Amino acid sequence: MKAIVNGKLITPGPNGDFRVEQDKVVIFEDRILEIINKAEFDTRDRGSFEEVYYAQGQYVSPGFINLHIHGCVGSDTMDCREMGLRRMAVFQASTGVTSMLPTTMTYDMPKVYEALNLVRQAVSYREGARILGVNMEGPFISESHKGAQKASHIRKADFDLIKEYSDVIKLITIAPEELPAGSGFISKCRAAGIRVSLGHTSADYDCAINAINNQGATHITHLFNAMTGLHHRNPGVVGAAFDSDAFCELITDNIHVAPGAQRIVHRVKGTERTVLITDSMRACGLGDGESELGGQKVFVKGQRAVLEDGTIAGSVLTMDKAIYNYAQNIHIPVWQAVECATRTPARAIGMEKDLGSIEVGKMADITVFDENVHITITFCAGKEIFLE
């Protein structure tokens, strides 16, 4: 057994809302065994504990869940290299992430299949953040809202193209207006356990709300970016997101979405339906310079990554910074913002029974950090995967 003491525990209260509890001790192996008062812990035999960690007044939080990450530290999911995925997982752990969905891009299908097969193997990795499966972004998208994806590889959605990979695809982005009539693509995905997200889409409000309310889409890919915006005579995909219970991804690097827009999202969706993501590409963690995304040159300066034509090309954001920025922009405590990177993404992909909060019986995925979300230690299934 292991224990974490002297921390400020972020955990659900009696009403289910996240709160901070002082003088609590978390006892765990691969799962959370007990959460007890410090006074009771002081009566326990310390010899029964393999390790006791002292949080020194820092937050003891559920590990972060990154549902949308293309790459970091020089590697990308579409490189289809085992060591690349391992590097990504190890780096993510240093930013507090304990679970992640490596994210594909719009490529020719053989290349996409290669990436899916590699991630299928990678779910067994035990180094760094846990790999849960794949977030498949494209190729079933709209050319007019393709963003930094190649138009030549875009194609019509066909469930037969992905049905053999339903075990590894956890989330898939589609443009609903591009679905072949009568294809039943969304319902087939849901029946196979794949969550469907609307993104890179030219859909109007009616098309988007129909996909959500009547077909089973539950998620919005990087809200505001690469979709029809909110207008009072055409509410667009953003309007459908606000007018539904869909989970909404948000990139909070303050480049993709302005702080004021983030505050509007918070008022409408709250922490219960807002999912913080990084959407990071291979340049994340490397600093300024030239990089690559989907076979296209990307130029990074500061926190901005763009193609040669100025199109935003993913981000270099990390999850610790995403949470800090969101808390600052929304004017809420860091511990409250944490829900958007823990329990909410777990719910978005149907894994809340095991992940997303520090509760007895759940996986011991824990990260410890200060008021600035500076990570000092991260555990995945009780194993120390990062120590500053």
pLDDT tens, position by position, 368-379: 999 999 999 999
**Interval 203-261: pLDDT, tens:** 999 999 999 999 999 999 999 999 999 999 999 999 999 999 999 999 999 999 999 99
pLDDT of residue 309: 86
Which numeric CATH code is attached to 2-61+359-387? 2.30.40.10
d(CA 372, CA 353): 29
Question: What residue numbers does the annotated binding site cover?
Answer: 137, 148, 200, 222, 225-226, 233, 256, 312-314
Average pLDDT of span 46-68: 97
Average pLDDT of span 328-340: 98
Q: Where are the domains of the chain?
A: 2-61+359-387, 64-349
Beta bridge partners of 99: 65, 130
Beta bridge partners of 12: 18
Q: State the Cα angle at 142 between 138 and 144, rounded to 5°.
A: 130
Question: What residue numbers does the annotated binding site for substrate cover?
Answer: 148, 225-226, 233, 256, 312-314
- DSSP string covering 257-286, please? S-HHHHHHHHHHHHHHHEEEE--B-TTTTT
Q: Is the pLDDT confidence value at 284 over 90?
A: yes
pLDDT band at 312 (very low <50, low <70, confident <90, very high): confident
Q: Is the pLDDT confidence value at 50 over 90?
A: yes
Which residues are known to be catalytic? 279
**Interval 155-186: pLDDT, tens:** 999 999 999 999 999 999 999 999 999 999 99
Q: What b/e readout covers 214-248, taking b as 16+ CB neighbours within 10 angstroms? A: ebebbbbbbbbbbbbebeeeebbbbbbbbebebbb
Average pLDDT of span 355-366: 99
Question: What residue numbers does the annotated binding site for Zn(2+) cover?
Answer: 137, 200, 222
Query: How much of the chain exceeds pLDDT 90, in percent?
Result: 90
Average pLDDT of the chain is 96
pLDDT band at 277 (very low <50, low <70, confident <90, very high): very high
pLDDT of residue 76: 96
pLDDT band at 276 (very low <50, low <70, confident <90, very high): very high
pLDDT band at 150 (very low <50, low <70, confident <90, very high): confident
Average pLDDT of span 17-39: 97
* Contact between residue 137 and residue 175 where contact means Cβ atoms under 8 Å apart: no
Q: Is the pLDDT confidence value at 296 over 90?
A: no
pLDDT band at 380 (very low <50, low <70, confident <90, very high): very high
Was domain 64-349 assigned CATH 3.20.20.140?
yes
Which residue is it, tokens 């824990």? 366
d(CA 250, CA 277): 6
Q: Is the pLDDT confidence value at 295 over 80?
A: no
Nearest to 103 by CA among 280, 253, 248: 280
Q: Is the pLDDT confidence value at 302 over 90?
A: no
